[in-house]
Amino acid sequence: MKANVVSVEGKKVKEIELPKVFDSEYNPDLIKRDVLSIESNSFQKKGSDIRAGRKTTAVYIGARAYPASGRSINTGRARRPRTKEKRHLLSGRVAGISGAVTGPKAFPPMVEKKIKEKINKKEKRKAFESAIAATASKELVTKRGHKVEEVEFPIVIENSFEKINKTKEVSEVLKNLKLWNDILRAKKRKTTRAGKGKKRGRRYKRAKSVLIVTGNKSLIAARNIEGIDIINAKKLNTKLLAPGTKAGRLTLWTENAIQELKERVK
Q: Where are the domains of the chain?
A: 2-27+116-264, 44-115
| pLDDT value of position 258 | 95
| pLDDT value of position 221 | 86
d(CA 161, CA 255): 10
d(CA 226, CA 153): 22
Give the residue ranges of DSSP H helices in the chain: 28-40, 121-134, 138-143, 167-176, 180-188, 238-241, 255-264
The pLDDT tens digits along the chain (266 residues) read: 899 999 999 999 999 999 999 999 999 999 999 999 999 999 999 999 999 999 998 999 999 998 887 788 888 889 999 888 766 656 788 999 999 999 999 999 999 999 999 999 999 999 999 999 999 999 999 999 999 988 999 999 999 999 999 999 999 999 999 999 999 999 999 999 999 999 999 999 999 999 999 998 778 889 899 999 999 999 999 999 999 999 999 999 999 999 999 998 87
Looking at every residue in the chain, the average pLDDT score rounds to 93
Q: What is the pLDDT of residues 52-84, one digit of tens each?
A: 999 998 999 999 998 887 788 888 889 999 888
| pLDDT value of position 96 | 94
255: phi then psi, degrees, rounded to nearest 5: -60, -40
| pLDDT value of position 67 | 85
Query: Which amino acid would we find at residue 255?
Result: E
Q: Are the C-beta atoms of residues 127 and 31 closer than 8 Å to each other?
A: yes
Q: Which CATH code, of 3.40.1370.10, 3.20.10.10, 3.40.710.10, 3.10.20.30, is assigned to 2-27+116-264? A: 3.40.1370.10
Dihedral-angle region of residue 54 (phi above 0 means left; psi in -120 to 50 means alpha; beta otherwise): alpha
